[in-house]
Amino acid sequence: MRESIDAIELNFEPSSLMALNAILGLIMFGIALSLRINDFRYVVKHPRAPLVGILAQFGLLPAATWGLTRLLELPPSISMGMILVASCPGGNISNFIAHLSRANTALSISVTALSTTAAMIFTPLNVAFWGSRSADTRAILTEFSLHPLDMLLNVLMLLGIPLASGMLLRHYAPSLASKAERPFKILSILLFVLLIIVAFRSNMSAFLAVIGIIFIPVALHNATAWVVGYAAGRAAGLPLEDTRALAIEVAIQNSGLGLVLIFSFFNGLGGMAVIAGWWGIWHVVAGLFMATLWSRSPGPRTAL
C-alpha cells in the first residue's frame, strides 16, 4: 500500500503550476488589500492573543501533526503532506469563518496578517525540522534535496511580493484599494476553486484510489488543529470570542501555498498533493460546520 501511494504521479502540467502560482499571488494580494496599519497596531496593543495564535500555528500544530503521523503509521508521502500543510499559515477564508462564528474578527484578521508574514520564515523551517524527525519522511527530503533556504526564498516570492504590493496600494491609494478588495477576494477564491476542480478531474482515478486512505487522516488532522487552537486559547485564559478566532486560524490552513510548494519542491509527489488538495476542501466544510454551531451559541459578534 505504501509503495502504491508514494508512486502515484499526478497529471499537473507546468502551465497549471504557473496558474496556481498566479492565483496564490492574487489571493495574497487580495488579503493585503484588506490589511491596515490598525491591524498591526492591534497586535502591538493586544499582543497576548496574537502571540498565542502564532505559537499554536507554527509551534503546537506541527508538533501535534508529527505525533499524529507516527500514531497512524501513515505512508511517508502522506505524512510529509500533513507536515507541510501544518507548516502553512492561516487560510484566506478564516476571517469570513470567524465573522460567521461570532469570533473576534479583528483578532482573526491580525493573526492572518501576522502568520502570513511569519510563514516566510517558519514554514520552511517547520517542513525541514519535522520532516527530518522520522526516517521515512527524512528520506523524502533527502530524495528531493530540499534546502530550507531555497524554500524560504520561494515563500518570500510567493507571499512577500503580493503582500507588499497590496499593502503599498492600500497605503498610497486607499480609495482604489477599497474598491478592488472585494472583487479581488471573490475572483481569487473562485479561480482557486476552479483550478482545484480541474486538477481533481484530471487526476480522478488517482484521487478515487486514495480517498479511502486519506479521508480519515485529513479529518483527524483538521480536528487536531481545531483542538490545538481552541485549547491554546483556553489555556491562555482568553475570552471565548478570542479562543474561537484562534481555533479558526489554526484549523483553516493555506492549502494553496502547500500545493505550490509540493509541486515546486517535491515534483507533485502524489501522496503529498492529494493531502493538500483534499485538506483545501475539507477545511471549508469543517469551518462552515463549526461556524453554524458557534453562530447559534452565545458570544459577542465583532465587526468585520
| Lookup: cell for 162 | 503580493
Of residues 147, 190, 197, 227, the one with CA closest to residue 27: 190
Q: Model pTM? A: 0.83
Residue 185 C-alpha from the chain's centroid: 16
Residue range 2-295 forms a domain whose CATH class is: mainly alpha
Going residue by residue through the chain (304 aa), what tens digit of pLDDT does each one get?
A: 445 565 555 555 555 667 667 776 777 787 777 666 666 676 677 789 999 999 999 999 999 999 999 999 888 999 999 999 999 998 767 877 888 888 887 788 788 888 888 888 899 999 999 999 999 999 998 887 777 777 777 777 777 788 788 888 887 888 888 888 778 777 777 776 776 676 666 667 777 777 888 999 999 999 999 999 999 999 999 999 999 999 999 999 988 788 888 888 888 777 888 898 888 889 989 999 999 999 887 655 444 3
Of residues 240, 248, 256, the one with CA closest to residue 289: 248
- Asked if 63 and 131 count as a contact pair (C-beta separation under 8 A), the reply is no
Q: Distance between the two ends of the chain, CA-based, in angstroms?
A: 47
In the three-class reduction of DSSP (H, G, I as helix; E, B as strand; rest coil), residue 147 is classed as coil
Structural domain boundaries of the chain? 2-295
**Unique residue bearing C-alpha cell 459578534:** 301
| Separation CA 11–CA 293 (nearest Å) | 38
Q: Tell me which DSSP letter residue 266 carries.
A: S
